[in-house]
A and B are shown apart, each in its own frame.
Chain A
Amino acid sequence: MDLIWDGIREALRLIFTGNGEVYEIVLLSLTVSGAATGMALVIGLSMASLLAFRAPPGRTLVLSFLNSGMALPPVVAGLVVAVMLWRTGPLGQLHLLYTPAAIVVAQAVIATPVVTALSAAALQTLHPKLRLQVLALGASRWQAAWLLFREARLPLLAAVMAGFGAAISEVGATIMVGGNIKGSTRTLTSATVLEVQRGNFETAMALSFILLALVYAVNLYLTVLQQRRRAS
């Protein structure tokens, strides 16, 4: 129990004494996972719209892959991305390995099936004719997408939260493609692993609390957005 209290105390100390390294790590975690969630959203919402509204042949098969993709082991995703980004790999010329961009790609690979599968399920709960009605009201394709996403915002924001959660809590792939380089690719999760390996359990606990607080803050914001009703 002492370790937990010490951890909380250490976390508060790190935050309030303005420890530059911790701020850097927090900022990197946020931007990397935010960008990964953004990428997952762009790909996921487009694919989900296609699957939900156009009902392409093989929809069930694709959805079953995506649903399985939600259980994709992050280490496997990391390995695949690392192999692609190796200097001799197909994307080696981009020199992305061990950069924050590589972590974004790996986390996006992990978050995309989550966001896509949950968004497709969210959009499939809408009335099948609602899309036609919105188009008949004179909506362009983008306007229609926006209106339909707004109609399904409750489950869609749940998909965003799940995607962000998968991205920011990920560590295996992050270390594999990022390398946990101090000042460059060290995130909250990879830093925590490092501190544990070093035996600095107090610092590790502190970083974990900061991570939890961060995740809570982001989800609080998204939940407020989700629950806000436009009409009383």
Chain B
Amino acid sequence: MTRPKLGLRGVRVERSGRTILAVEELDVFPGEVLAVVGPNGAGKSTLVSLLAMLERPSAGEVLFDGETVRGGLLAYRRRMAVVFQEALLLDTTVESNVGSGLALRGVPRAERQRRVRRSLERFGIESLARRSAHTLSGGEAQRTSLARALALEPEVLLLDEPFASLDEPTRRTLIDDLDRALSETGTTAVLVSHDRSEALRLGDRVAVLIDGRLRQVGQPSEVFAAPADEEVAAFLGVETIVPGLVRSLDEGWRSWRSAAATWRRLRRSPRAARCWSACDRRTSLSARRPLPLQRPAPATVSPPSSGGW
């Protein structure tokens, strides 16, 4: 099994006695884009601060390359890059902004210029190189911020709502450019967003964070098709939520009864199964669309022993 690039174990963040974030386990694997979605105030930015080594947890461990991070945060920070919702550029030219992280690391001038130029080209802002950062439009500024982050060739790129302040057309083209940049460079990335479409578009895996807790982590298709609970479903925009009563649970299938019909469906997520018993077999279930009543016989499907199916 591949060793995770970044990981959280039993992490809690408390502020003035209130738990902001509590994550039992989260891994970010090399080369993947993990999209963390959740409503405002779910603890997404705190999660980024933890992963970026800008904040230490009240309890638990942060792992980098499988090793527990204890101190020397600067050295870890220099292997990563962070893009925030606001571009937060320095009061200088676009060019020196893009080179600023490299300058802080003492990268020699020639090498710096080469990497700055490549990063400017990657985001199509070579023509802005000599412009003052404070004269840029919102989209141009965020491009500069992304170029600044990728010029560092970071081992992990952390993106904290990078598109939230942009208008729709700008957002769409910038998402395309970022997607291409990420796949070309194979950069490991964590994208935090309140926008489900961004997560679906960029994420190899999706994690749903609500009220400071990870409710579900999995492939986008999996998470969107079988949300773990009603809140996750509601956040992901599932429109049809049919209340029902669980009738039986066997061989990887579940069946339940609503007012109108009896439903049968493959149980995909082990978390859903936990919810089953926790809910004492009474729960609100969610479905994106009415499900067919007939499915292949259970015998042809292997039971979900280890979370897959």
In this assembly, does B132 line the interface, its C-beta being within 8 Å of a C-beta of chain A? yes
Q: Does A212 contact B (CB under 8 A)?
A: no
- Does B164 touch A at the CB level, under 8 Å? no
Contact-residue bracket for chain B: 20 to 34
Interface size on A, residues (CB 8 A): 19
B74 close to A138 (CB less than 8 A): yes
Contact bitstring B81-102, A, C-beta under 8 A = 1, else 0 = 1101010101111001000110
Nearest CB on B from A72, distance (A): 33
B101/A138 in contact, CB under 8 A: yes
B133 and A139 form a contact (CB under 8 A)? no
| A137 in contact with B86 (CB, 8 Å) | no
A126-147 near B? 1/0 per residue, CB < 8 Å: 0101101101111110010001
- Listed by A's residue number, 10 A-B pairs whose Cβ atoms lie within 8 Å are A133-B82, A136-B80, A136-B81, A140-B104, A147-B90, A150-B90, A229-B132, A230-B91, A230-B96, A231-B93
Residues of A within 8 A of B81 (CB): 136-137
- List of A residues within 8 angstroms of B80 by Cβ: 136
Closest B residue by C-beta to A143: B104
Q: Is A151 part of the contact surface with B, judged by Cβ < 8 Å?
A: yes
A137 near B148: Cβ-Cβ < 8 Å: yes
Task: Report yes or no: B132 in contact with A136, Cβ–Cβ below 8 A.
Answer: no
Give B131-144 as 1s and 0s: 1 = Cβ < 8 Å from A's Cβ atoms.
Answer: 11100000000000
Contacts A135-B77, A136-B54: A127 and B86 contacting too (C-beta < 8 A)? yes
Report the minimal beta-carbon distance from B254 to chain A, rounded to whole angstroms. Answer: 44
A139 to B106: give the CA distance in the assembly, Å.
Answer: 11
The reply to whether A230 and B92 form a contact with Cβ atoms under 8 Å apart is yes
Asked whether A232 is an interface residue with its Cβ less than 8 Å from the other chain, the reply is yes
Contact B104 A137 (CB under 8 A): yes
Is B283 close to A, CB under 8 A?
A: no
B192: chain A residues at CB < 8 Å are: none
How close is B86's CB to chain A, nearest CB, in angstroms?
Answer: 7
A138-B104 in contact given A132-B54, A230-B93, A232-B132 (Cβ < 8 Å) = yes
- Return the chain B residue nearest A148 by Cβ: B90
Please name the 6 residue pairs, one residue from A and one from B, whose CB atoms are nearest each other, closest first. Answer: A231-B132, A136-B82, A133-B88, A138-B78, A137-B101, A231-B93
Chain B residues with CB under 8 A of A137 = 81-82, 100-101, 104, 148, 152
Q: Closest Cβ of chain B: how far from A148's Cβ, in Å?
A: 10
Cβ–Cβ contact B54 & A151, under 8 A: no
B70 lies within 8 A of chain A by Cβ:
no
Least distance between B223 CB and chain A CB atoms (Å): 28
Decide: A151 near B91, CB < 8 A? Known: A137-B100, A138-B105. yes
Q: Which of B78, B130, B152, B158 has most A Cβ within 10 Å?
A: B78
With A130-B88, A137-B148 in contact, do A231 and B133 touch (Cβ < 8 Å)? Answer: yes
In the complex, A140→B77 CA distance in Å?
10
Q: Known pairs A133-B82, A137-B152. 17 more at Cβ < 8 A?
A: A129-B84, A129-B88, A130-B88, A132-B49, A133-B88, A136-B52, A136-B77, A137-B101, A138-B152, A140-B104, A143-B104, A147-B90, A151-B90, A230-B91, A230-B92, A231-B91, A231-B92
Give every chain B residue within 8 A of A133 (Cβ-Cβ): 82, 84, 88
A138 touches B77 (CB 8 A): yes
For residue A136, give the distance in angstroms from its CB to the closest CB of chain B. Answer: 4
A225 to chain B, nearest CB (A): 14
Docked pose: A202 CA to B164 CA in angstroms: 68
Residue ID in chain B nearest A127 by CB atoms: B88
Residues facing B in A49-65 (CB within 8 A) are: none
Which residues of B have CB within 8 Å of A138? 74, 77-78, 101, 104-105, 152
Question: CB-CB contacts of A6-42 with B at 8 A, as 1s and 0s?
Answer: 0000000000000000000000000000000000000
Q: In the complex, how many angstroms separate the beta carbon of A134 from the nearest chain B beta carbon?
A: 8
